Amino acid sequence: MNNFAFSPGEIVVKPGAKISVTNQDNVGHSFTSDDGQSFDTGVLSQGKSATVTAPTTPGTYPFHCTPHPNMQGTLVVKE
């Protein structure tokens, strides 16, 4: 998370993979699935990192930043 954007905007992982994110902005951001249940780091302050586990079901999982809903991306889970 940097400059109010996710980088990369599309993340491709295997089912159950660990995903680490770091907030490099000076405001709080989250890495939250659009369904609110598949994964959610909660709001991370500047310099903080968190790790979530990708869903075990292959598919496409849109995500966003809760405080800044214009920050969006896609998690693709595939074998």
Q: Is 29 annotated as a binding residue?
A: yes
Q: Are 46 and 27 in contact (CB under 8 A)?
A: yes
Q: What is the CA radius of gyration of the chain?
A: 12
Q: Are 61 and 34 in contact (CB under 8 A)?
A: yes
As annotated, the binding site for Cu cation includes 29, 65, 68
As annotated, the binding site includes 29, 65, 68
